[in-house]
Every structure is written in C-alpha cells, then in structure tokens.
Amino acid sequence: MAHVVLVSGIPRAGKSSFCDAIEAAREGFTHVPLDRYVRPVPAATHFLNWIASPNCIAWDHLRSHLAILESGEPCYSPRPAWEGGWRSWISAGGAIADGPGRRMEPACRAYLVAGTHAFAFAAMPRPMRVFVHTPGEVIAERLTGTRVDPATAERVISRGLAPNTAAVRQDVHAADLVIDGTAHRSTQVREFLAAFTEFFAPSAPAP
C-alpha cells in the first residue's frame, strides 16, 4: 500500500510545481492536485470565500479516487469549470477511458495530495506533512507578475487570495518537513526524498 504525503502552503507558494518535480523524478510518487477537487461554488457565493474553508473540498470523492489508484488502475481527477467561475464540474473524473482532468497513475511509494487544505485530509495511517514556505514578497510578485515592494506584499496578498491565508501559514507548525519554495527544484526533490525515507523508515523492533 502506498503512503500519503500532504503538501500545504499558501497559493502561489509552489506546491504544484514541487509535486510535479517529484513525480517527474520517477521515484514512485503521484501528484494528486487538491484544487481539482474543489466542489462547485454555490450561487451567490464569492469564489475566494468559498475556497477559504476545507469544506469546499469533495473529500469523499478524493478518497474514492485514491481507492481506484490503490487498486492498480489509473484515474482521472475532476475538471472544474474554471472558465465559468468554478460553478460546476466539466467532469467528475474517475476510472474512465479518457477525460479532461489530470490523469493520475498508481503510485508505488506515495500519493502527494497538494493544496491549501491538504492538512485537513483525515488520511490513515498517519501521513507525512510537508509545508512549502515562500516569502510574502515572492507570492505577491507571482500574483501580479511584477516587482513588489516587500512593505506592500501583504496588502497585495490580502487582495488577491482567499481570507484564510494566515490560517494556512500556521500549518508550518504541524509540518514534518518545511521546503523552501524558492529553492531549486532539484534541491527540493533531494531534501524531500531524504526526509520521506526517514519518515517512513520501519521502526526498530523492541528489545
């Protein structure tokens, strides 16, 4: 049975690219992007307010897809209708022949469940928790595509991201590993693989 690794961090921290790099290393990991599992935004509800709570995630749907993967079958993620304001899903994904969602392959080592609400996933047994930490000014520059004065970075972030940013940042205290979101991808992957091996190392038998 493959393990589960939960990857948290505020939006634009680099969670997805970090997980994509690990998957691309072909070390037996599969990236499961949590933003694909955001439930349709209810009418008259603002998108940023909706995604501020873990309740926005279709957790049971995610579990069913992990079960498909664990059975040895590939699985497609859902595909939210981003162009329409996330008010519906174009596809629910699953064990289908083809789909507009992300194709995910069975993992032999672990599934990387990445998203701002990742640490809310009640996975059993105990998953490894990774937090991608990126300075506020870097986040702000990724949001705007321009240079940002560090003194104004938090204002830019508060305007462009969901109102739960401060809460997500607290996930760093629950993390088993903190990854520098500005480090080179090869460095990130190397640090992760070493920490993963140590975290899931078999316990020594009692004397």
pLDDT tens readout for residues 145-191: 999 888 888 888 888 887 888 899 999 999 999 999 999 999 999 99
For residues 164-173, one letter each, b for 16 or more C-beta atoms within 10 angstroms of the residue's C-beta and e for the rest, the string is: bbeebbebee
Q: What pLDDT is recorded for position 173?
A: 97
pTM above 0.85, yes or no: yes
User: What CATH number was assigned to the domain covering residues 3-199?
Assistant: 3.40.50.300
Whether the Cβ atoms of residue 113 and residue 128 lie closer than 8 Å to each other: no
Mean pLDDT, residues 117-133 taken together? 95
pLDDT band at 99; cut points 50, 70, 90: very high
Q: Is the pLDDT of residue 1 over 70?
A: yes
Token pair belonging to 98: 């083809």
Q: Is the pLDDT of residue 108 over 60?
A: yes
Q: Is the pLDDT of residue 204 over 60?
A: no
Task: Using alpha carbons, select from 187, 185, 192 the residue that is nearest to residue 17.
Answer: 185
